[in-house]
């Protein structure tokens, strides 16, 4: 009813206000740090304990649940409690290099590739398990189209006509060709190589993109987009794109010069970006279509609306990303000299894919660590399969473990914290329902919904403030135009930020827990 709608909006506004205020104080005024880290040494080994304060990530962790949260924690422990301490113990420590820089360098250059291998094998396993049901889904879709042509389809089965699907598909292929050609225009390549690269990019993006869209879309419609292996898809895609380009010999003329080598890497990353965009859109759209099916919507109307949404997103997202890039820069890519690298936005997936493509083209990829990740991923897949056969809720999602290894620890820790928050609330609800003698699912339904809304508000609030601060930074040309303190305040700001985070989590719980 109307009261429930108003309460839901208030819950979103509550979470958004909390996250916005925290983000302004932390990212704008710099009174709160954005994470807290403690570095420990045991002999020559270095161990890092850290906690990120991002409320958007806490909200995301709340939504993914405790099973994925524990898997991410396991990945983080494997990275920073096992791999990094071992590597720091056996790797010579250069004089004058801080412990934190030494450990971070080893994580970036070696440990992350364990996570990449694990994520890649998890994605391949997921695609393999989905292959048969995916084919059955495609067959069912074609059957539905055939019935539609005979005029026997119900309203809730009415998709866009095959004619329009073919026209739109051909238009997208032409648009892909224009985009790739525009990307390569002005580069020092021959006409033959130019055409060859464009054709290769279009064919790979279309064929692999179709398979990825079918698999990711099927999984998103079945169990939700949060479980779709998009990170693994990106890693598999960049490896395939780069290896095929290298094996074909098409980029050999480019690899003869450093500038040409960078162009080859850029082509591989650009094609991979198209694949990831396909996967992300398939995740979102198929989940929306599934929701529409549950509420009795007309599919073709949804599909038209989703196409409009894709166009609007394509017009809005690039300027926003460009604004963020010019304001903060991304890790390893700063737009201007003299910018504070510590303020650069972390782009772990993009950084990792860049490292993979660079390693393949320079023939210096850390295959050993990738192999370790693949082997460890296979072991975890077997363990997860055995847990699934036993039944119950205990699982070990390999993709989440790999993500915990290759994401920065302040990101992984914030996701885990959000998952723990959801678990604590769930246990509290179960205890109160038992005390009240009520059915748990009925008792917990509204608090669960409110929790999701507040968590969504956390994500929206921090995101909007991030864009607004980027606009202020871009307008003023200063890295921290609103800062009230200097960098010397960082250590104090860590504890202030931690205290504020604890208070916000308490407010979150009090907001959604029903009165006794």
Tell me the average pLDDT across 381-399: 84
For residue range 14-38, what is the model confidence (pLDDT) as tens digits? 999 999 999 999 988 989 988 998 8
The winner for highest mean pLDDT among 197-206, 322-331, 469-478 is 197-206
Tell whether the model's pLDDT for residue 461 goes beyond 90.
yes
Q: Per residue, what are the HEC states of 348-376?
A: HHHHHHHHHHHHHHCCCCCHHHHHHHHHH
Of 268, 218, 278, the C-alpha closest to 248 is 268
The answer on pLDDT for 140 being more than 70 is no
* Full-model pTM: 0.84
CB atoms within 10 A of CB 259: 10
Instruction: Supply the pLDDT for residue 324.
Output: 86
- Number of Cβ within 10 Å of residue 422's Cβ equals 23
CA-angle at 225, arms to 323 and 463, nearest 5°: 25
Question: Three-state SS for 79?
Answer: helix
Q: Could you tell me which of 135, 215, 217, 209 has the C-alpha nearest to residue 173?
A: 209
With H, G, I as helix, E, B as strand and everything else as coil, classify residue 435.
helix
How far, in Å, CA of 507 to CA of 512, rounded? 9
- pLDDT at position 151 is 54
Residue 457 has pLDDT above 90, yes or no: yes
Cα four-point dihedral sign 356, 360, 365, 370:
positive
Q: Is residue 87 scored above 90 in pLDDT?
A: yes
The pLDDT assigned to 111 comes to: 93
The mean pLDDT value of the chain amounts to 86
Q: Which of 240, 175, 246, 235 is nearest to 204 (CA)?
A: 240
For 486-508, what is the mean pLDDT? 90
Q: Name the band, by pLDDT with cuts 50, 70 and 90, for residue 418.
A: very high
In angstroms, rounded to a whole number, what is the distance separating the alpha carbons of residues 278 and 393? 31
The least confident of 83-92, 94-103, 457-466 is 94-103
Positive or negative: CA dihedral 79, 82, 85, 89: negative
Three-class SS state of 485: coil
Count Cα neighbours of 463 within 13 Å in the Cβ-side half-sphere: 15
Q: In this predicted model, which residue has the larger pLDDT, 166 or 230? A: 166
Q: What is the pLDDT of residue 147?
A: 58
Average pLDDT value for residue range 430-456: 88
What pLDDT is stored for residue 283 in this prediction?
84
Residues 271-274: contacts with CB under 8 Å, at least 24 apart: 271/180, 271/201, 271/204, 271/205, 271/237, 271/241, 272/234, 272/237, 272/238, 272/241, 272/353, 272/357, 274/176, 274/179, 274/201, 274/205, 274/209
Contacts of 282 (CB under 8 A, 6+ apart): 212, 213, 214, 216, 217, 220
Q: What pLDDT does residue 148 have? A: 57
**For 334-338, which contacts have Cβ atoms below 8 Å and span 24 or more sequence positions?**
none
pLDDT digits (tens, 9 = 90+) for 158-196: 778 878 888 998 999 999 999 999 998 888 888 888 898
Quick one: which H or E segment has residue 445?
helix 440-476
Task: Name the more confident of 450 and 158.
Answer: 450
pLDDT of res. 144: 59
Query: How sure is the predictor about 349, in pLDDT bands with cuts at 50, 70 and 90?
Result: confident
* Segment among 56-60, 352-356, 377-381, 485-489 with least mean pLDDT: 485-489
Give per-residue pLDDT as tens, 246-275: 888 878 888 888 888 888 999 999 999 999
Helix %, strand %, coil % for the chain, to 5? 80, 5, 20
- How far is residue 149's CA from residue 154's CA, in Å, rounded to a whole number? 12
Are 280 and 230 in contact by the 8 Å Cβ rule? The answer is yes
């Amino acid at each position: 009813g109307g009261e429930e709608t108003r309460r839901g909006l208030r819950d979103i506004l509550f979470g958004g206000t909390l996250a916005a205020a925290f983000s302004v104080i932390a990212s704008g005024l710099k009174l709160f740090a954005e994470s807290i880290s403690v570095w420990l040494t045991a002999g020559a080994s270095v161990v890092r304990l850290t906690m990120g304060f991002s409320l958007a990530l806490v909200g995301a962790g709340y939504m993914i649940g405790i099973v994925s949260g524990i898997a991410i924690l396991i990945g983080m422990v494997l990275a920073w409690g096992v791999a990094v301490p071992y590597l720091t113990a056996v790797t010579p420590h250069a004089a004058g290099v801080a412990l934190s820089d030494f450990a971070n360098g080893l994580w970036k250059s070696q440990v992350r590739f364990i996570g990449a291998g694990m994520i890649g094998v998890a994605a391949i396993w997921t695609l393999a398990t989905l292959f048969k049901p995916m084919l059955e889904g495609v067959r069912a879709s074609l059957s539905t189209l055939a019935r539609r042509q005979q005029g026997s389809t119900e309203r809730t089965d009415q998709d866009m006509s095959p004619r329009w699907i073919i026209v739109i598909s051909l238009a997208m292929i032409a648009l892909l060709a224009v985009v790739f050609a525009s990307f390569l225009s002005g580069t020092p390549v021959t006409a033959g190589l130019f055409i060859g690269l464009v054709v290769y990019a279009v064919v790979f993006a279309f064929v692999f993109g179709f398979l990825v869209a079918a698999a990711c879309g099927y999984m998103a419609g079945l169990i939700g987009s949060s479980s779709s292996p998009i990170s693994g898809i990106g890693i598999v895609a960049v490896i395939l794109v780069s290896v095929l380009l290298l094996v074909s010999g098409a980029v050999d003329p480019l690899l003869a010069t450093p500038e040409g080598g960078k162009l080859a890497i850029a082509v591989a990353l650009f094609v991979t970006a198209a694949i990831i965009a396909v996967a992300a859109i398939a995740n979102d759209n198929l989940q929306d279509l599934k929701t529409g099916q549950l509420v009795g919507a007309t599919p073709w109307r949804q599909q038209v609306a989703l196409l409009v949404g894709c166009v609007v997103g394509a017009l809005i997202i690039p300027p926003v990303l460009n604004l963020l890039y010019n304001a903060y820069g991304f890790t390893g890519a700063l737009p201007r000299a003299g910018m504070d690298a510590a303020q650069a936005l972390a782009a772990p997936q993009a950084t990792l894919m860049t490292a993979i493509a660079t390693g393949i083209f320079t023939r210096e990829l850390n295959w050993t660590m990738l192999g370790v990740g693949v082997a460890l991923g296979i072991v975890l897949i077997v363990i997860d399969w055995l847990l699934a056969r036993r039944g119950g809720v205990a699982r070990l999602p390999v993709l989440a473990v790999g993500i915990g290894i290759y994401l920065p620890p302040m990101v992984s820790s914030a996701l885990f914290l959000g998952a723990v928050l959801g678990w604590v609330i769930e246990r509290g609800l179960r205890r109160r329902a038992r005390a009240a003698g009520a059915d748990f699912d009925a008792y917990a339904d509204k608090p669960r919904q409110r929790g999701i809304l507040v968590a969504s508000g956390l994500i929206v609030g921090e995101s909007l403030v991030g864009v607004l601060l980027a606009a202020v930074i871009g307008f003023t040309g200063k890295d921290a135009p609103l800062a009230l303190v200097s960098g010397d305040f960082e250590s104090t700001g860590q504890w202030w930020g931690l205290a504020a985070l604890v208070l916000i989590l308490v407010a979150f719980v009090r907001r959604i827990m029903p009165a006794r």
